[in-house]
Amino acid sequence: MAKADFSVPEIGEHIEVPLLVDGTMAHSKPYVAKADFQTPLGYPGELVENWQQKAIDKMGELLGKYRSLRVYLDSCVKCGACTDKCHYFIGTKDPKNMPVARQDLLRKVYRRYFTFAGKYFPKLVGAEDLTKEVLDDWYSYFHQCSQCRRCSVFCPYGIDTAEISMAAREIMDSIGVGQKYCNEIIGKVFRIGNNLGLTKGALRDTLEGLEEDVLADTGVEVKYPLDQKGAEILLVTPSADFFAEPHVDGLIGYGKVFHAAGASWTLSSKASEAGNFGMFIGSYENMRRISMRIREAALELGVKRIIFGECGHAWRVAYSFLNTLAGPFDFLDPKYPVPQHILEFTYNEIQKGTLKFDKSQNDHMVVTFHDSCNVARASRMGPNPGGQFEIPRAVIKAVCNHFVDMDPDTIHEKTFCCGGGGGLLTDDLMELRVKGAVPRVTALKQVIKDHGVTHMAAICAICKSQFTKVLPYYGLEMGQIVSLHQLVSNAIVLSGAQETRDEDDD
Ligand code: SF4
Ligand code: SF4
């Protein structure tokens, strides 16, 4: 059991609505970004002098740009349907982590400066001045929202707290109060090409190492190409796939699938990161700059298709925004959607009968599946509604004999965030991350108890990192979280592999 310097919640039989404890997470704040991390992104290095006016001006600019923001701030009727739907509220008991209360932190300032009633009768409509105390609350509680959108599924008006959190973070960045974790990472992407700061040389070494490992393991020369001009497919994947467990096992799986399908593919040292933290800080300009690397890499390499690896928020940005941020992609093969997900590729190959599997290779596992919130509620896969739920499960069932779903209230569009999404996957927020995982861990423990589940598969780099870190706080093993393509990798039968294994046996 991992040790904590905060109290780790007890996991009950079922997910329960907690009794309120005021201010229990008011102390939770991520490190503030220093000037070195602010200025490369176009933000002031520290809190600017006339920050109140600047923040109000920025809010006005965002209200003019995004009509949805004004609609969300105007339309809440305080029905209460969202109050108990946030994993951070369930795990922390702090009433300010109720989605409606989180929205109200911005809404009260909006009312004060942008509505008639708020300007002249502020007390009557709950309008408040933007003070330093309010700004402190914004910094704390808008960094306790993983922008997972679960609350919006239950809101009769579809109010999206994620968009409100993004706007709040953008306003704070614009006055010099950015979050270190996100802004440092975005800077690394601009300077080096990926979140982890892996150089081209390090990438090449890693990929050569993977080729040797797969050859030793299967006897088959599976290639993991980098910057290969003229390849058909550009694979853009989260940089965690290049080295961390269990992510790298997923990358091994993608390579085996491409090999078995006879596809020509490459990774890119320029676009060596699928993640796009520009979304977490609500900055379309930074999202655009990050996305442009993918367009440039695709053009330089002359590829015909772009496929994304297992990364939840990367797929959300790619699926929803890549074409408007970095398009048009009229130089790619029009036969394929832009972009595609690796699971769509694998699923299509399974449908075509190109891939062979020995499912018994996964017989030591009883697998469940964690729907990543960004995939579930902000994207799709395949041509049919709900493809983002069906395709991952269809692929798991094609490669595993034992699969069990978790409580229906915690999967598909009602899935719970892992607790580390939305730019919160940083050690300075460990208490929040551990507490935010309560609903998912509760549902996981149910299927462990009732069905003997041994492993949980995920298709998001953040979910995998988060669970690897927080499962031990709840008496579970970090190895119980696996990449979905790791299951594919275990079961796929590569032609030539058996003969070599036999030779080795001789
Ligand atoms: S978007 Fe997710 S994290 Fe944010 S308030 Fe809603 S449920 Fe909570
Ligand atoms: S469910 Fe929607 S309308 Fe109801 S309180 Fe929550 S945000 Fe407001």
Note the ligand closest to the C-alpha atom of 165: 1
- Percent of all residues in the chain with a pLDDT value above 90, rounded to a whole number: 94
pLDDT tens-digit readout, 136-148: 999 999 999 999 9
Tokens of residue 299, six digits: 């053009």
Query: What pLDDT was estimated at residue 495?
Result: 86
Report the separation in Å between the CA atom of 434 and the middle of ligand 1, taken as the mean of its atom positions.
Answer: 16
CA 145–ligand 2 middle distance (angstroms): 16
Over range 309-316, report the average pLDDT: 97
The pLDDT of residue 340:
98
Q: Is the CB of 74 under 6 A from ligand 2?
A: no
Ligand sitting nearest the alpha carbon of 420: 1
Least confident of 184-198, 239-253, 359-373: 184-198
79 lines ligand 2 (CB under 6 A): yes
Looking at the CA of 150, name the nearest ligand.
Answer: 1
Of 178, 203, 225, at which residue does a domain stop? 178
The answer to whether residue 500 sits within a structural domain is no
Supply 168's token pair. 């709040």
pLDDT at 196: 85
The answer to whether the Cα torsion of 422, 426, 432, 434 is positive or negative is positive
Domain count, the chain: 2
Task: Tell whether 170 and 212 lie within a shared domain.
Answer: no
CB crowding 250-278: b at 16 or more within 10 Å, else e:
bbbbbbbbbbbbebebbbbbbbbbbbbbb
Cα separation of 502 and 499, whole Å?
5
**Residue bearing the CA closest to ligand 2, atom 3:** 76
pLDDT for the residue 497: 67
Mean pLDDT over 205-229 rounds to: 97
Tell me, using a 6 A CB cutoff, whether residue 155 lines ligand 2: yes
Q: Give burial (CB, 10 Å; 0-12/13-18/19+) of 300.
A: middle
What pLDDT is stored for residue 1 in this prediction? 74
Q: What's the longest Cα–Cα distance across the chain?
A: 88
240 lies in some domain: yes
Handedness of CA 325, 326, 328, 329 (dihedral sign): negative
Using the atom order of ligand 1, give the atom closest to the CA of residue 422. Answer: 3
Q: How far, in Å, CA of 273 to CA of 318, rounded? A: 12
Domain annotation covers residue 255: yes
Residue 188 has pLDDT above 60, yes or no: yes
pLDDT value of residue 506: 34
Token couple for 103: 């929205």
* Chain centroid offset of residue 145 CA: 13
Mean pLDDT for 86-103 is: 98
Given a contact cutoff of 8 angstroms between Cβ atoms, the answer to whether 236 and 268 are in contact is: yes
| pLDDT tens-digit series, residues 332-353 | 999 999 999 999 999 999 999 9
Residue owning the nearest CA to atom 4 of ligand 1? 145
Query: Which residue, judged by its Cα, is nearest atom 2 of ligand 2?
Result: 155
Query: What is the C-alpha separation between 98 and 90, in angstroms, rounded?
Result: 9
User: Which of 178, 198, 231 corresponds to the end of one domain?
Assistant: 178
Q: What is the pLDDT of residue 500?
A: 42
Is 21 among the domain residues?
Answer: no
Ligand 1 geometric centre to CA of 155 (Å): 12
pLDDT higher than 70, residue 468: yes
CB contact at 8 A, 171 and 58: yes
- Residue 405 vs residues 342, 370, 447: alpha-carbon distances, Å: 22, 9, 8
Do 332 and 478 share a domain, yes or no?
yes
* CA 497 – ligand 1 centroid, Å: 47
Q: Is 157 touching ligand 2 by the criterion CB < 6 Å?
A: yes
Q: Give distance in angstroms: CA of 398 to centre of ligand 2.
A: 40
**Is residue 505 included in any domain, yes or no?**
no
Q: Kindly state whether residues 336 and 456 are assigned to the same domain.
A: yes
CA distance 54 to 412: 40
Distance between CA atoms of 373 and 391, rounded to whole angstroms? 15
Average pLDDT over residues 117-144: 97
Q: Looking at the predicted structure, is the pLDDT value of residue 379 above 70?
A: yes
> Does some domain include residue 20?
no
Same domain, 252 and 332: yes
Asked if the structure places residue 29 within a domain, the reply is no
459, 342 contact by CB (below 8 A):
no
Candidate of 77, 84, 86, 145 to mutate for ligand 2, largest count of ligand atoms within 8 Å of Cβ? 77
pTM, whole model, 2 decimals?
A: 0.96
What average pLDDT does range 20-44 have in this prediction? 97
Confidence of residue 455 (pLDDT cuts 50, 70, 90): very high
Q: Are 105 and 171 contained in the same domain?
A: yes
Distance between Cα 146 and ligand 1 center (Å): 6
% of the chain beyond a pLDDT of 70: 98
Least confident of 325-339, 448-462, 489-503: 489-503
Closest atom of ligand 2 to 103 CA is 7
Asked whether residue 131 is assigned to any structural domain, the reply reads yes
pLDDT tens figures, 106-115: 999 999 999 9
pLDDT surpasses 90 at 2: no
- Nearest-CA residue for atom 7 of ligand 1: 86
Residue 445 has pLDDT above 60, yes or no: yes
Domain that holds residue 117: 35-178
> What is the predicted pLDDT for the residue at 105?
98
**Claim to verify: residue 156 and residue 226 sit in the same structural domain:** no
pLDDT in tens, 345-376: 999 999 999 999 999 999 999 999 999 999 99
Report the mean per-residue pLDDT for the chain. 96
Are residues 349 and 219 both part of a single domain?
yes
First to last CA, the chain: 44
pLDDT value at 229 more than 80:
yes
For the record, the structure tokens of 108 come out as: 């009260």
Confidence of residue 197 (pLDDT cuts 50, 70, 90): confident
Residue 302 pLDDT class (50, 70, 90 cuts): very high
Task: Provide the H-helix boundaries in 45-121.
Answer: 51-65, 67-75, 87-92, 99-114, 116-120
- Determine whether 492 is exposed, middle or buried from the number of CB atoms within 10 Å of its CB (0-12, 13-18, 19+): buried
Q: Are residues 195 and 312 in the same domain?
A: yes
Domain boundary at 133, 150, 178, which? 178
Total Cβ atoms within 10 A of residue 132 = 10
The answer to whether the CB of 284 is under 6 A from ligand 2 is no
Does 369 lie in the same domain as 407? yes
Ligand number, closest to the Cα atom of 99: 1
Helix axis angle for 284-301 and 312-326, nearest 10°, is: 80
Residues with CB under 6 A from ligand 1: 85-86, 88, 99, 102, 145-151, 161-162, 165, 417
Show the tokens assigned to 429. Answer: 């927020």
Whether residues 333 and 438 fall in one domain:
yes
Encode pLDDT of 76-88 as tens digits.
999 999 999 999 9
Q: Quick check: CB of 41 below 6 Å from ligand 2?
A: no
If you take atom 6 of ligand 1, which residue's CA is the nearest one?
Answer: 151
For residue 167, what are the contacts with CB-CB under 8 A and spacing of at least 6?
59, 62, 66, 69, 106, 282
- State whether 251 and 341 are in the same domain: yes
Residue 496 DSSP one-character state? T
Q: Is the CB of 78 under 6 A from ligand 2?
A: yes
- Phi/psi of residue 267, each to 5°? -95, 165
* Structure confidence at residue 504 (pLDDT): 39
Q: Which residues fall within 8 angstroms of residue 131, CB to CB, at 6 or more apart?
A: none
Query: Does residue 90 sit in the same domain as residue 128?
Result: yes
- Residue-wise pLDDT for 496-506, tens only, equals 764 444 343 33
Cα 80 to middle of ligand 2, angstroms: 6
